[in-house]
A and B are shown apart, each in its own frame.
Chain A
Amino acid sequence: MSMQSQDIIRRSATSSLTPPPQARDHKLEVAKLIDVSICIGCKGCQVACSEWNDIRDEVGHNHGVYDNPVDLTAKSWTVMRFAEHQDEGGPLQWLIRKDGCMHCSDPGCLKACPSPGAILQYANGVVDFQSEQCIGCGYCVAGCPFNVPRINKEDNKAYKCSLCSDRLAVGQEPSCVKTCPTGAIQFGTKEDMKLVAAGRIKDLQARGFKNAGLYDPEGVGGTHVMYVLHHADRPELYSNLPKDPQISATVSLWKGMLKPLATLGLAAAGLFGFLHYTTVGPNRADEEEEHEEKETEEVSK
């Protein structure tokens, strides 16, 4: 799957001077569209994900809420998050969001990753972890603006949704899309999904959700998992979906500035040393003077 897909547009911890194989990068960008307004919270997508990807999370405990499991884990790549919301004087609303990797166009995980090729981005927009290259440092966890990757303590590797890249490679939709009984999850080219979303948003607005809109945040260059939200002006209502997610300034400073600066600085220091030694020459103490002195004792400190 990894290198032979030959449509890799970004590869972690490598220079763009030595690009990954991308001869087949003509593919269209894809997107998964999650229409929160039609989701019934059945968790069919969670089951399908676990089944297709062959992951079996530990059976957990009831935390007094519908969220189960209560958070993403290395073996639960998608979870439904249930939030109750009531506007003043309005009806109670149950806002259910299927959480998981957003497949950012500008992925923070990939930017932070120090292991060459452990995180790839394909031409279709999918951000995929290559587990055999993963070293378990958890920098992707720090890099992600959505708090998605999880480290598995059994093997010290990071895991997250792959957007079923193996299914996409053979022309199938992700397993959660395939299983969703209400059609709340759709899959296609990003352009098509935007059109579908526009139709849904129009419908929602006609039904009184005047702030209905598409969640495709600019700050990370857009995402390849998008939401139709009834309250697009307040994404944080949906279990803290970030309003303006961006790669953290600390991460940008670290990988965007410090790293190239360090490389240059240390190379310059090496060059300076070489030139200094070859021009000024070594600094020797004049051993001749010693002959004046008679004693030969070693003086200890």
Chain B
Amino acid sequence: MKEKLIQRYSAAERINHWVVACFYPAFFWLTGIFGTPQLARIVHPFIGVVMFLGFARQFFRYYHHNFITDEDKKWMKAVGEVMKGNEVGDIGRYNGGQKGMFWLMVACTSLLLVTGVIAWRPYFAELFPIPLIRFALLVHASAALALIAGIVVHVYAAIWVKGTIRAMAEGVVTHAWAKKHHPKWYREMTGKES
């Protein structure tokens, strides 16, 4: 019997996702992959801009799926139950956690772009007063931390909920996956009762 699948992400969406993932600017110990720390420092802001543009494309793809509803608030309040593996609420394409993550990413990448430009040497930093650069560096580091923490959750959730990574690799999920984790979306996609 052929597996019953639902297309969740198109090839373009998948490529877009991995472009953003790969262009996430790195930690100091990762600077080695760019040859030298000096080169890494030069490349970092350019990579950051590519990531921002990649994410901006994702923003326009997905923002309309990410408006937070009462069902999502219910999900967020019951997140402890969710962590135990029990589904909460009639979830559409994305659950409350995924939507919260989306807006966190929107906030962080925007902050990172603005503050990153302010601190960008040798091109832009000298146009700004030093106290502003200091503030920008603090915000840049804080936003990066929030984004990294968010990505840790994002990656772990993908590993934890089996069948999820396939959505970003092949673009498809099984009917059972959709029915269990996103019942409302399942009905929309298949026209069936879950």
Contacts and interface: CB of A to CB of B under 8 A. Distances in A.
B116 to A, nearest CB: 11
Interface residues of B, number: 53
A258 interface: yes
Nearest to A248: B134
A142 interface: yes
A115 B7 contact: no
Given A142-B133, A153-B122, A299-B189, A135 B176 contact: no
B180 A250 contact: no
Interface string A12-27: 0100000000000000
Given A250-B134, A287-B174, A266 B148 contact: yes
A293 B193 CA distance: 11
Interface residues of A, number: 53
Given A282-B162, A285-B176, A151 B181 contact: no
B32 interface: no
Nearest to B39: A135
B83 A280 contact: yes
Interface stretch (B18-26, B70-78, B99-107, B152-160): B152-160
Contact of A300 (B7, B119, B160): B7
Contacts of A250: 131, 134-135, 137-138
A281 B161 CA distance: 10
Interface in B154-194: 156, 159-163, 172, 174-177, 179-181, 189-190, 192
Nearest to B93: A301
A156 B134 CA distance: 19
B149 interface: yes
A286 B180 contact: yes
B11 interface: no
